Each structure stands twice: as C-alpha cells, then as structure tokens.
Structure 1
Amino acid sequence: MDFDQFHETLRTLYDQMMPLCGNMTGVAKGIAGLGALFYVAHRVWQSLSRAEPIDVYPLLRPFAIGLCIMFFPTVVLGTINSIMSPVVQGTHGMLQSETFDMQKYAEQKDRLEYEIMRRNPETAYLVDNDIFDAKLEEMGITDVGQKVGLYLEKELYDIKKWMRETFRELLEIIFKAAALVIDVIRTFFLIVLAILGPIAFGISVWDGFSSTLTQWITRYVSVYLWLPVSDLFSTILARLQSLMLQADIDRMQVDPDFSLDHSDMIYILFMIIGIVGYFTIPTVAGWIISAGGMGNFGKNVNQTATKGGAIAGGAAGAAAGNIIGRLKGR
C-alpha cells in the first residue's frame, strides 16, 4: 500500500477546500461590522461621559480584524502556512534521510543472513535451490525417507520465514495506518478551523469574545504542528531501527550462529510501542504551543491508544507464541 499517496491526497483535499472560506466571509463581515459598531460606540461614549480624550489606537482593532476577514485565505491562512511550511519541509527531509538509511541497513542485513546461511553446509540447502537439488542427487534414489525429511525441513523454514515476514508487514501496515489516522484527523481539524475561521474573527470583535482570536490562532498552529511532530517521531523511530539493524549486523558478522528470533521479537515489541506512541502526538504538539479546549480530545486519544496497544499486544503475543511453538516443534 502506498501510504504516501494517501498523505498527498490529504494535502490536495486541504488545498481544494480552502476556497470555501469565502462562503463564510459575508456572514463574518456582518458579525464583525455590528460588533465594531458597538465596540467603537461603547468606548467613545465612555470617554465622553468621563470628559477624557478619545484614544483612537484601541479603536483600530475592529478595522484590522475586518481587513483580515476580507482577505482571510491569503492574509491569515497564507501567512500562517508560509511561516509553518519550512518546519514541515525540514522535518520531512529528516524523515526521508533516516528512512533511506534504515532501508539500506535492512537490505544489508538480509544479504548477510543469506550469505551466512549459504556458507554453512548445514543450512545452505534451505536458502539455495541449486544446492538443495544437488543434495537430493547425492542421496540417490533409495534414500526416499531422507529426501522427504529434507523437503519437510525446507518447507518448515519457508513457512517460518513467511510467517515472520507476514507478521512484520502487518505491524508495519498498522504502524503506517496510525500515522495516517493522525494525518486524517489533522486535515479535518485544519479544514474546519480554516472554513469557520472568518466567523471566529468576526466574533472576536465583540466585547467578551476577544480571546476567540488568540484561541483560534493557537489551535490552528497546534494542529498544524501535528505533521512535523509526527515526522520527528517517525525520524526517531527510523533512527532507532537503524541502530538495531546495525547491532544485528555487527553480531551476525562476529557470531555466524546468531539467531534472528530474538531480534524479531524485539522488533515486534518496538513496532507496538511505536503504534501506541503515534497517538501521543497531539499531546506533544500541545506542549509546543498551548491550545485550550482540546482536553477531551486528548483524553479520547489516550484511551484509544491504550486500547489499540492492548489489541496489538495481544495479537503480537499470540503470533509470537505460534512462531515459538513451531520452532520448538521443529
């Protein structure tokens, strides 16, 4: 599955939904205009009643917000997105670099495992079909029982390898799906905040609702940071995987009898931790810029992460138990 295509589709969806902000501009202008009338009148009459000079500077606030509403997609969203875009590009570049290194070490480990097993006379026939056929020819026609044993042993090895690769691919799919879930929720929040942004700006003109403007900005920036934080988390995980692969490669070069079963179990536990860790990204983004009003969402995300981790852990334990059982039976 090409998860990168799904992420690109979400970016396209966000870009195509941005013109819908114009549908809310007219309503926001009316709300802001009526609020500006009361805002200015209240302060002018307050100053006149106290025989004080009128301070013009605070009266410019409704007009500045009105200009932001009129040019909301370009001035507000364009400015925020252009400022935050380098952060997204920087973290994505880090992720690509670490992912490339991880794939390089994974390929090196697979080649080394194949070479070690091929050099060992006792396991060479399991990975090399030519050696397997040559060994069958050496046995002759009468050694039917030994031939059946070789076929069964090679078949068990292929099944074991298939189960290991299948389970690893399943965890990797769940791992990437967790990142996709975060990106889908992020895109939904950004679209809702962007489309209803003019309304929030218009309401902020009214007395008593001035904090709506700062809350909208902090929430938008906080949600926007989910993607950079997700890329940083993936970068850390990719680096950790690279270190694990390097350690396995070093041990395989020193000890030809090194078993990969222990390494596979560590990899499975590592993937489960990564899946659960993805759902902590909104909390980490909230540490960078505090956005109020999202406590219930964080609570629900933590509960989902706990349940997802329990399900993934149970599945991993059952699969690992099956693999160990087959190994003992062998």
Structure 2
Amino acid sequence: MTDSTSMPSTVIRGIERAKTLDGTASTISGWVDAVTHPTWFKNALSGSWLGHQLHPVLTDLPIGAWGAAVALDLTGGRESEAAARRLVGLGILASAPTALSGASDWSSTRGADKRVGLVHALSNAVATTMQAGSWLARRSGHRRTGMALSAVGLSITLASAYLGGHLSFVRGIGVNRTAFQRQTRSWTDVAADSEILDGTLVRVSVHDVPVLLTRQDGQLRAISAVCTHAGGPLDEGTLDSDGCITCPWHGSRFHLEDGAVDRGPASVPQPVWEVSVEDERILLRSADAA
C-alpha cells in the first residue's frame, strides 16, 4: 500500500534541502528585520501582547473569506455575485497584516525552516495576486474568470497552509519550548550563595529542568534557562542593566522579575522560579507552587 503522505513529505524534504534558496531568504529576511526593528512593532507582530503568536490567528481571516467566496460561487448563483466579490476583497485586505506577522516570525528561523517558510510566503504571495486578479475581473463583469482565479488562488493558499502546518506541528516553530517542563513544588538546593556573583549568569538544574540563576544589585533572580521562543540558552545571553535578559539566538528580551516579554520574537513569558537562601545555600521551586 502506498503511503498517502509520501508525496507531500518528499516535496517538503526537497524544499528543506534546497540551499539555493538561502541567498534569497537571507536578503528578504534582512529587509524584514529592518522594517520590524522598532520594539513596539516587533512585539505587535510577534503577539507578545496576545500571549501566543499573532500569525496563526490572522490566517483564518483571508482563508475564511476566500473559502466563503468560492462557496458562494459554487452554490449562490448570480444573486450572490456582489457578496462573493466583497469577500474576495476582504480576504485581500486581511492578507496584508497576516503576511507581515508571518514574515516577522519567519525572519527568526534558520536553515531548513527558513527555506520552507520562504516557499510558504511566496506561495501565499502568488495566491493573493490571483485573488486580486479575481476581484478586478469580477468588478469588470468577468464573473467566470473571477471565479476561476478565486478557486485556483484558494487551492494555492491551502497548499501553502500545509507548509505552514508542517512548520508549526512537525518542526515546532512557534511552540512554547518550556510548555512541558516539570514543575517543582518543593524547595530544591541548587548552589552555594557565594557562587552566584553579581552580574553573572549561572545555569543550574532543578530535577533536570535547566534554570538561569543570576544576581543583580544584590537581588537573586531565577527563570527557566530555555527561551520560550526557540529554545535558546538564556544563560549564554546578555544581562541588561534594566533587569532584563536577552536571548543570544534571536534577541528576545525578558524581565527577570516576572518573566514577561520585553521584546519579541518571543510571545510567551519565561517561567519564573522562587528563590530562597538557607544556611548559605540557594533553594529554588516553581513560582506557582506556593
């Protein structure tokens, strides 16, 4: 029996290995980074204010609008022509912020993920162009041409969505890297108080969970050492004077006090740990264990 997923898997593996895409991906990624450099804009696109990535939420809007337009084309008849055209237009408008938020997330990926993301983005660009052609054709009275362009454009969008699903559910892009870390409700000895000097970043382990332990202005702080965004080692990052830690991989910044995201691409806060000192030993437990 032939594996029904063999063809899509083969195509994706081919894209992942296509290093010829790297030059184009690097150039476009540089443009995206320049546009999204302001912290407020990066946070807005990353979904730091939302609690998870913004892009998956926005994708429902153009796909839903274009899917509904095609459904009206197939079942509504002439009386639904105006409604279908409006839906195509709404999908085009919604595609702009959707593409921008996706580009912001994509610019932080690497290697095979970046190649698949590039093909995903280019496919969506082609699909949106076809939808724009559909809207113009419908507006000019060429309904059948508009219907055909919408149907083909939607098909490309759905194929592109498969690539997006692969990035999310197979490659784990956008998945909180601390989601399955074990919580510890009992105080656990991790280090001597004298070992943690002011301004140093020390990686300790609490029942196999990596934790960043640091002291700033005499105050001990502890947050999970694995960046929620892509798993970067925060203990190799930069401790900033404003009480934030910057991830060395993609520049996400977190407040040490409560783990809140100060700058994306991270959209999920870092888990924080309670700190106690007894008999010159540092003890940790999960912050929500009390």
Of Structure 1 and Structure 2, which has the larger fraction of its residues in strand?
2
* TM-score between the two structures when normalised by the length of structure 2: 0.27
TM-score by length of 1: 0.24
Q: Which has the larger radius of gyration?
A: 1
Instruction: Determine which structure has greater relative contact order: mean sequence separation of CA pairs < 8 Å that are 6+ residues apart, divided by chain length.
Output: 1
Per residue, is there more helix in 1 or in 2?
1
